[in-house]
Chains A and B, each alone.
Chain A
Amino acid sequence: MPITQTHELHQRRFSRNLGLGAVLLAFVVLVFGLTVVKVNRGDKMEAYDHQPRASVLPVAPEAKQ
């Protein structure tokens, strides 16, 4: 059900909600930034998932280059 009436509470908490919104947005940016960094660095993108796969085996240093 959409909120059709503005309660006095909405004004009272406006700054708090604005702050929380900014924090959540910053969190999204942070996780995205981390992803970009880790992908660029060539980190392992998969983990073990109940089946042995060649793609999750550690890469030998000489094969990396």
Chain B
Amino acid sequence: MSDISYIDRSGEAQFGDFVALLKPRVMSLVVFTAFVGLVVAPMPVHPFVAFTAILFIALGGGASGALNMWYDADIDRVMRRTANRPIPAGRVSEGEALGFGLALAGISCVMLALASNIFAGAFLAFTIFFYVIVYTVWLKRRTPQNIVIGGAAGAFPPMIGWAVATGGISLESVAMFMIIFLWTPPHFWSLALFMKDDYSNAGVPMLTVTHGRRTTRKQILIYSLILAPVAVGAAFTSIGGPVYLAAALVLNALFIRGAWRLWRRDEEVAQAEKYSAEKRYFYFSLLYLFGHFSALLVEKGLGFFGMGGW
């Protein structure tokens, strides 16, 4: 009965491996945008209920992360960036990840519905369905449009936060959705520009692989141009205001300028410079999103002093 001790002990799944299945870094974005969506809504939410709601929205996002890692384990084994995830590294079995993800998905939706309202819980369930089935299973391996449509899954959290407070959907929550939805393609395509080998090895139809890098650069510019009026336009809804408008104008101008530079860039020059401008654009895109949602928070905060909004 001692044969079990011959198995390499370093392979034992620790608590941290199950946390890693939840994609904590993606979760931080979910927590932040859901928090903003909940806070800027006109109805006040009890702080403890708000905390619980955001916790379970994050857990639902984590559950979809675990289910994504279960389905994509074969791709993750091939890509350098993901080869050390718990399943490809052999610390967690695929079945464990599936069970873990399904259980957490159920718990998070039911608990969100009980803590806030049924609509928010159902919305979270739909988001998990959208990310796991629509994006991961149907689109990711079939079409270069995968992240355009799949980006919707990442854009739902502020709408869920808003639904926790109001129990519904409105123009403001759709505006927050559209900002993240239109931001996702340039964000990920700029990543794909400097991570090219990985995606082609794994056979994921990234735009850079299927339509070439020239087209990708053009698409980044197109999306940044569509995004700008939406992001600036959100300033004129009930959650916007002068501070948000100023932040949106600056951030969008910089975002378009960056996209313009990427579009003008020659492929050889980019490669010679080790894709420094592409990397900078990618990191700026994170700041871009953070900036917009922070500005919305600032407007809400100023509102308590009678200064927020128009």
Interface residues of A (CB under 8 A from B): 8-9, 12-13, 15-16, 18-20, 30, 33-34, 37, 41
Contact indicator per residue, chain B 40-72, by CB within 8 Å of chain A (1) or not (0): 000000101100100100000000000000000
Chain A: CB-nearest residue to B9: A12
Min Cβ gap B34→A in Å is 17
Cross-interface CB contact of B48 among A15, A20, A33, cutoff 8 Å: A33
Besides A15-B14, A34-B114, 10 more A-B contacts (Cβ < 8 Å) are A8-B4, A12-B12, A13-B12, A16-B13, A16-B14, A16-B15, A19-B15, A34-B52, A37-B48, A41-B46
B14, A37: Cβ atoms closer than 8 Å:
no
Min Cβ gap A18→B in Å is 8
A15 cross-chain contacts in B, Cβ below 8 A: 14-15
B52 cross-chain contacts in A, Cβ below 8 A: 30, 33-34
B49, A34: Cβ atoms closer than 8 Å:
yes
Complex alpha-carbon distance, A54 and B227, angstroms: 53
Complex alpha-carbon distance, A13 and B18, angstroms: 13
Do most interface residues of chain B lie in helix, strand or loop, or is the interface mixed? Answer: helix
B side interface size, CB within 8 A: 15
26 residue pairs from A and B, CB less than 8 Å apart: A8-B4, A8-B5, A9-B4, A12-B9, A12-B12, A13-B12, A15-B14, A15-B15, A16-B13, A16-B14, A16-B15, A16-B18, A18-B15, A19-B15, A30-B52, A30-B55, A33-B48, A33-B52, A34-B48, A34-B49, A34-B52, A34-B114, A34-B115, A37-B46, A37-B48, A41-B46
A12 cross-chain contacts in B, Cβ below 8 A: 9, 12
Interface residues of B (CB under 8 A from A): 4-5, 9, 12-15, 18, 46, 48-49, 52, 55, 114-115
Chain B: CB-nearest residue to A33: B48
Min Cβ gap A22→B in Å is 9
Min Cβ gap B101→A in Å is 16
A37 cross-chain contacts in B, Cβ below 8 A: 46, 48-49
Min Cβ gap A46→B in Å is 15
Complex alpha-carbon distance, A34 and B52, angstroms: 8
Min Cβ gap B239→A in Å is 25
B4 cross-chain contacts in A, Cβ below 8 A: 8-9
B13 cross-chain contacts in A, Cβ below 8 A: 16
Complex alpha-carbon distance, A34 and B55, angstroms: 13
Complex alpha-carbon distance, A6 and B195, angstroms: 48
Complex alpha-carbon distance, A9 and B13, angstroms: 12
A19 cross-chain contacts in B, Cβ below 8 A: 15
